[in-house]
Amino acid sequence: MISAADRVGNKPTEMNSAVALSVAVRDAVALGEERIVLTLRFSALPRARRLGTQADLLRASWEPLNSTARVRSFKLPGGDLVALGLPHAAADLEYHHQVLFSMLEEEEASRAVQILRLPAQAAAVLDIVHDSLGFTTALGAMGLQASEGGQPDGAAIAAAERAMAGVDISTFVRRQRVMWLKPGGANTRLMWEDLRVKLAEICERLMQSADLALPKAFAERLIGAIDARQISNLARPQELRDMRPIALPLRVESIFSPAFLKLDALIPPSQRQKLLIAFSAGDVLADGGQFILARSFLQARGYPLILEASGPLAAAVLPSLRAGFSYLRLVWSDDFPAIVSGADALMRDTLANPAEHVLLAGADTPAAIAWGWEAGIRMFQGRLIESQRAVS
């Protein structure tokens, strides 16, 4: 069995040792008993002293303290050594203090080698334990960034939702074509249309004060309401009569909504393959069980699925083909060439997905399309694509 200790910096024995030391210190304090503490803190020494022969010599002169009955020696994570003895071991500890002191420069020694007394100096000893566990460093780095402005309260959200009921959602829907585009431009054809609500514009219109950042969960709630409206629009007779292939980004929850189930009952079975349902990777992994239920329903009914990955990490963590998606939709970012050394390597190693199943959205520049082509991608969506004409 591979124990975690073999690979991890914090060895459990040293960790336990840190716990044992803090228990011993607190015990002494609780009972008001006197204890003498000797410390050798490698972490307070310059680098040269911490490594190699010099450190070995220091450890060797500590060694006798590990084997006397009157003293308990603790090796803390990070290598610091602490010895704790009863008052009658004071002379012994003092002797070792002198020895260690003589081996170091005075300035170094006064920081690293110390005699402390319990219960009076308990706080100093506990600080050493704290330091050895890295808490001082970690807590210092803790990002208590000033909160990013105000956010709307529940009442403002509820008001926005009420306002949305009276808004014609179709004015906020952006339709973009997804084209099959090969280098050289042969066989350019329309795959489907992407129907997407411009959330930012809706928020701007609905929220009373525009400088408020919409918390993620509230945004999801708004999107859920928008989903229902989008779905109901599709269920209108004129839309159903003349159905063209479209991709609709939905929340997984929306599949279980009455609106979607009503639409499902109205779409003729032969037309279902024209409705491509897109889920975001984050939404899929927020509740894997719920996604699996939705997937088995959608697959049985014949709707193709698109996975929308916010970036390469999402695409790599959630392999789209294995998870049952027909297509993977990546959104182009100018960082792409920098994040991955070669576009084809991203496809091969990270995405493990045949490039012909990948759609690159946000293809607004020739650079994006060039990168996509290099990666083997043939499906594109974006401003540049809107100006392309399908051959047939």
Residues in 301-320 that interact with other proteins by CB under 8 A: 310-314, 316-319
Q: Are 281 and 308 in contact (CB under 8 A)?
A: yes
| Smallest separation (angstroms) from other proteins to the CB of 210 | 19
Q: Which is nearer to other proteins, 49 or 97 (by Cβ)?
A: 49
| Smallest separation (angstroms) from other proteins to the CB of 4 | 4
For 70, counting Cβ atoms within 10 Å of its Cβ (0-12 exposed, 13-18 middle, 19+ buried), the class is middle
* Residue from 256, 342, 390, 391 in contact with other proteins (CB under 8 A): 256
Asked whether position 78 contacts other proteins by CB under 8 A, the answer is yes
Helix (H) or strand (E) run with residue 284 in it: helix 281-286
What are 340's two structure tokens? 């991955």
Q: According to CB under 8 A, which residues from 167 to 196 bind other proteins?
A: none
Asked whether position 9 contacts other proteins by CB under 8 A, the answer is yes
Q: What distance separates the 2 farthest-apart alpha carbons in the chain? A: 97
N-terminal to C-terminal alpha carbon distance within the chain? 62
Kindly calculate the radius of gyration of the chain based on its CA atoms and give it in whole angstroms. Answer: 32
Asked whether position 18 contacts other proteins by CB under 8 A, the answer is yes
| Cα–Cα distance for residue pair 51/49, rounded to 1 Å | 6
> What is the amino acid identity at position 213?
A
Q: How many residues bind other proteins (CB under 8 A)?
A: 99
Asked whether position 388 contacts other proteins by CB under 8 A, the answer is no
Which residue in this structure is represented by tokens 């525009």? 210
| Cα–Cα distance for residue pair 346/353, rounded to 1 Å | 10
Q: Which is nearer to other proteins, 31 or 186 (by Cβ)?
A: 31
* Residue from 55, 169, 190, 286 in contact with other proteins (CB under 8 A): 286
What are 170's two structure tokens? 């179709």
Asked whether position 337 contacts other proteins by CB under 8 A, the answer is no
Asked whether position 253 contacts other proteins by CB under 8 A, the answer is yes
Asked whether position 12 contacts other proteins by CB under 8 A, the answer is yes
Q: Which is nearer to other proteins, 161 or 193 (by Cβ)?
A: 161
| Smallest separation (angstroms) from other proteins to the CB of 354 | 16
Asked whether position 150 contacts other proteins by CB under 8 A, the answer is no
